[in-house]
Structure 1
C-alpha cells in the first residue's frame, strides 16, 4: 500500500549555549541541582533575534538539501509549535515565504511537546491522498521567550531548537501504527493564556502568561501513563518491547526517560536522548533526536517508536518501520 516515507531530516539549534552555571547567575538554582533532577547540562537559547520561524526555516533547508529537493516542489508545510511567532500569520506561512515554497500551503499544529508525533501523523494522511509529491513536517520552539526567569521550577528545563523531516511517497509507508490521546487539563502545564475582558477600557490590550508547570504532577503523570500506553500500543501492533530497535520519547527530562526505560525493562542504549545538551525543546526534541539517529545509524529494517507527551494532557505514539 502506498504511504508516506521519510526522505530526509534535519535539525537546527541557536548558536548560544547556556550552561547550568550561567543559568544559575539568573535563576536561584545550581548545576548540581539541575543535573541531579533533570540530567540537563546545557541548553541552546535564541539570543540573537531568531524567532520560531527562523529556526524552522533552517531545519527545513537542511532536510531539503539532503534530499536534493527544491522548495518549489513541496506541496504542504506543517509546523508544530506552541511558541509561534504570533497567532497570525501562522509560523508555517512565514516558513513557506522564507523557503520560497510558492506551491505549498501550510498551517500550525499545537499539541505542545507531543507536536512532532501529531504533525507526522497528520502529514501522513495528506500524503496518502496521492495529491502531493513532497510534504514538510517541522517542529520548532523558542521556549526561552515564554519563560519567567524567576521561576526555577520551569526555566531550568527548557531550550530552543527545530527539527524537520521531508516526506515523499513510497510503495510501502513507513508509518505503520499510531495511537493518540487527549485529557483536557489546563492546570498542570500552561503557557500563553490570554484572559477574556471583564470590562471595556481604553487601556485593555492582550496580555499573555509565561510558561508554568507543576513539575511533580507532570513527572508522576508521565511515568504512570506513558509506560502503560507504550505496552498497550505495541500489543495492539502484535509487537513486544524487544521488537523495537529505538525509542524516541519527548525530551522532557533525562530522569523521566530513565524512569520509563526502567519501568519497561529496556536498556537506555535503545533510548535516543539529546536533552542533556539541548534541554527540553518541547515539540522539537523528538524531531531533533530523530535527525540525530537518522544521521548516525542505518535504519534499514529497524523499528523506531516515537512517543510524545505534552500539555493538554496530550500524548501518543507512532511506529516507524524502515
Structure 2
C-alpha cells in the first residue's frame, strides 16, 4: 500500500431496541421533577429502551452484535474478510445485566460473527470511543497494517436514566443530563479507498483532560446502580466553548483554509 493510501467507510449498521419511552413517560417516574418540562429543555421527545429479558438480546453486547451483522449485511466483505474488530462500548452489559470486562467485547464479537482470524481489542474513551476506534482503524489501513476492519459500539445507557429518575432533585441536579440518553448500537466497516470522492480525508481528536471531572460515570452515591454526574454549568463556560473554534482554526491554518 502506498504512502498516500486513504481509508473509507465501506458500510454502516445500526440496531435500535424495539421498546420506546416518551419523555412524558420518563418524567412521570421522576420523584423530584417539580413540573420541569424535560422535553422542552432537552429537545428529546422519545428514546429507545432495551428489553431487560436476557432472551431479547438487547443488552450492550446483543445490540452491538446486531449492529455488526447489519453492517456486514450491506458490506461486500464477509466476517472472515475482516483483519481487525474494535469494540468501543462504554456500557459493557452481557447476558441481561452482567457487567463484563474479560474476555473483551471485541474478541466475543469476532467469534460470534465468524471473524476467526481478526485481531481484536476494546477501546475505552467515553463518548468519543466510536470516533477513537475509527481513527485507529483509519491509521492502521493507511499504514498498511490491515486491509479492512470493523468498529462497533453497543450502549445500554438508559440504566443511568433509571438511576436519575430515582434520585434526581431538580433541573440543576448533576444527573439531569442522564435523562437525555437512550439505547442503541452502531457499526462501521472500513477498507482502503480507491476513489478521491469516497474516503476519510481527515480525523482530528482533541483531548482536554483538565475537564474530565465534569462528566463522570460511576456507581451511584445514593442507591444501587450506575449513575452519570455532569456539571453542565461548568461545561458551558466560555473557556470550554472556545476550545473547539480555537483548535479548528489552528487546523485550518495548517492546510491553508479558513472558516469561510
TM, length-normalised to structure 2:
0.78
Pair 177,228 (structure 1): closer, same or farther in 2 beyond 3 Å = same
Q: For 1:210-225, what aligned pairs fall within 5 Å after superposition?
A: 210-220=227-237, 223-225=241-243
1:25 aligns with 2:25: no
Partner of 1:198: none
| Cα distance in structure 2, aligned partners of 1:66 and 1:238 | 37
SS in 1 for 2:213: coil
The Cα RMSD (Å) is: 2.6
Pair 15,112 (structure 1): closer, same or farther in 2 beyond 3 Å = same
Partner of 2:17: 14
1:92 aligns with 2:106: yes
Partner of 1:178: 203
SS in 2 for 1:40: coil
Report the number of matched residues. 230
**1:33, distance to aligned residue in structure 2 (A):** 2.0
| Cα distance in structure 1, aligned partners of 2:125 and 2:11 | 23
**1:35, distance to aligned residue in structure 2 (A):** 2.5
| Cα distance in structure 1, aligned partners of 2:128 and 2:70 | 23
Partner of 2:47: 43
**1:45, distance to aligned residue in structure 2 (A):** 1.4
Q: In the TM superposition, what whole-angstrom CA distance separates every residue of 1:109-152 from its partner, at most 9, and x where no partner exists?
A: 11111122211111112212324332001132111234423235
TM, length-normalised to structure 1:
0.64
Decide which of 203, 211, 227 is 2:245's aligned counterpart: 227
Structure 2 unaligned regions, length at least 5: 94-99, 169-174
Structure 1 unaligned regions, length at least 5: 195-206, 243-322
**1:32, distance to aligned residue in structure 2 (A):** 6.5
| Cα distance in structure 2, aligned partners of 1:31 and 1:227 | 36
Q: For 1:266-285, what aligned pairs fall within 5 Å after superposition?
A: none
Q: Which runs of 4+ in 1 moved over 6 A?
A: none
1:21–1:31: 8 Å Cα contact kept in structure 2?
Answer: no
Partner of 2:217: 191
